[in-house]
A and B are shown apart, each in its own frame.
Chain A
Amino acid sequence: MKPSFGRWLTKSATGLLLLTLLIAMGCANPRGTGDLGLVIERASGSLQVVENSNNVSLGGVTGLGDLSHAAAVFSRDGRYAFICGRDGGLSKVDLLTRQVVKRVMQSGNSIGGAISQDGRLLAVANYSPGGVRIFDSETLEMKWDIPAMGADGKLSKVVGLADVPGKSFIFSLFDAGEIWLLEVNEQKEPQIQKWRQVGAQPYDALITPDGRYYLAGLFGEDGIVLIDLWHPEQGPRRILQGYGRGNEKLPVYKMPHLRGWAMADQRIFLPSIGHHEVLVADVNSWKEVAHIPVHSQPVFAMVRPDKRQVWVNFAFPDNDTIQVIDVPTLKVVKQLRPGKGIMHMEFTPKGEEVWLSLRDENRIEVYRTDTFERVSTLPANAPSGIFFTSRAHKIGL
């Protein structure tokens, strides 16, 4: 009688203590993550957790390695960010506690990641060794290693990785000029559909917000490769062929990024490589609608969430300038010069404000997108990418 009563007492006391602790922790700061995000501070291998309702930094997270060209994707509960660093490190960061909860060194050199439709698998694209590795998003345990061995028998750098509804992931092989569609699940070995010789040096790619089209930009020639994922049997086709129209291609000091969500009003907006233009194509015919002359070579062409504006930043040495394109008229309606080294732009979830990272000025600037007024400035150490959790529920981000 006595021992079991003692046990009951101990158990319930522990239980009570735990319960009290949980309530105390929960009540201390219960909050959602829908207005959170992070800013990559690439020089110091750290990041800041930020909040876009009040435009504040909530605190820093350190120990993330080489974050040049680091990209983040989010768990579908919006709590965790997965950061792929250039040094091959893959880190899982809790935005609420601001802790690195897991970190693995997964390769020599990585470029970006994607998270599966169901949020369970994480894919990382690697330059070296060239390939894609798939991880369990809960544990960061590696599940599959997919070397990107092109038809030339060599490992290729992988770019333009994106999640695909109903399949798994799609990506491009820079050196080999191929596109691979990957299907992985617990039941069987990975299935890969490979399209060879799609074009010279695909350097980045995007999947449209509906998950239907995959577009890869080519560095080695003027053109874009398109795959309709509703009809993969039709294979890749070339669009915007020769968009440079015989103009001499300018030196490219920074590769454009295509993951800009720049689809608006039945049109897609793409940075032209080696030319001072934003290309516009009709998404039904895929015919060219316009070339919009812009300040310099575009890096990102990003559409505001309501699709009314496209914001463009530029490559070195013109990376102090932003231009805003009005979607209905296809005209540049605003030019801003926020400061040196604008690396990235990120819209708030519904787009009333946009955050800009000014790498060379060690700060973040927040602008209203209707009046173009600057509303906030946040200090940051050589900031590059800005990623908000609203990405968690979008295909291809």
Chain B
Amino acid sequence: MEERHQQELLHLLRQDCGSCHGLRLLGGLGPPLTATALQGKPKAYLESIIMHGMPEQAMPPWKGILSPEDVSWLVDRLLEGVAE
């Protein structure tokens, strides 16, 4: 994945996911997305939530905006701890 696209994804993660999860992903209306908070959650489960959302919660589906590759890359970053 191109460096520029990675930067765009990180920007989206902090700014737009950050609307609910906090700019530092420490939580807000949505839960925290720190490596500790996500510990033990399977990658496929997290990818599925991002792609399809959680209809009863405030989590929207991101399919149509993010590709499966984008989501896979973002989940890897989250699991390794991209939050400050």
**A310-328: contact bitstring with B at CB < 8 Å (1 yes, 0 no)?**
0000001100000000000
Main SS of chain B's interface residues? loop
Q: How far is the CA of A127 from the CA of B56 in the complex (A)?
A: 19
Give bound CA distance, A252 to B19, whole Å: 11
Number of A interface residues at 8 Å Cβ cutoff, please give it. 29
How near does chain B come to A68, taking the closest CB pair, in angstroms? Answer: 3
* A43 vs B24: C-alpha distance when bound (angstroms): 9
Known: A109-B22, A251-B53, A252-B58. A86 touches B28 (CB 8 A): yes
Contact, CB under 8 Å: B15 / A341: yes
Give a binary string over B7-27; 1 marks a CB under 8 Å from any A CB, 0 the rest: 000010011101110111011
Cα of A327 to Cα of B65 in the assembled complex, Å: 34
Taking a contact as CB atoms under 8 Å apart, the answer to whether B26 and A251 are in contact is no
Which residue in chain B gives the minimum CB-CB distance to A251?
A: B60
Distance in angstroms between the alpha carbons of A334 and B27 in the assembled complex: 37
What residue of chain B has the Cβ atom nearest to residue A69's Cβ? B28
> How distant is A48 from chain B, measured CB to nearest CB, in Å?
18
- Whether B61 is near chain A, meaning CB under 8 Å from some CB there, is yes
Is the CB–CB distance between A127 and B60 below 8 Å? Answer: no
A-B contact count (CB 8 A): 63
Asked if A128 and B27 make an inter-chain contact with CB atoms under 8 angstroms apart, the answer reads yes
Size of interface on B: residues with Cβ below 8 Å to A: 20
Check if A87 sits within 8 Å of B29, measured CB to CB: no
**Closest A residue, CB atoms, query B84:** A66
Contact (Cβ within 8 A) B20 A255: yes
Q: Which of B11, B14, B28, B29 has the most CB of A within 10 A?
A: B29
Q: Are A66 and B26 in contact (CB under 8 A)?
A: yes
Please report the C-alpha to C-alpha distance between residue A306 and residue B58 in the assembled complex, in whole angstroms. Answer: 35
Q: CA separation between A341 and B14, bound complex, in Å?
A: 13
Q: Do A111 and B28 form a contact, CB below 8 Å, given A251-B60, A341-B15?
A: yes
The complex places the Cα of A69 from the Cα of B19 at a distance, in Å, of: 7
Contact A219 to B19, CB < 8 A, known contacts A109-B27, A127-B29: no
Complex: how many Å from CA A317 to CA B53? 16
Q: Within the assembled complex, what's the spacing in Å between the Cα atoms of A69 and B20?
A: 9
Contact of A66 among B15, B16, B20, B23 (CB under 8 A): B23
9 example contacts (A-B, Cβ-Cβ < 8 A) are as follows A42-B23, A66-B26, A68-B18, A68-B24, A109-B22, A252-B60, A254-B16, A316-B19, A360-B11
3 smallest CB-CB distances across A and B, nearest first, come from: A68-B23, A251-B60, A316-B16
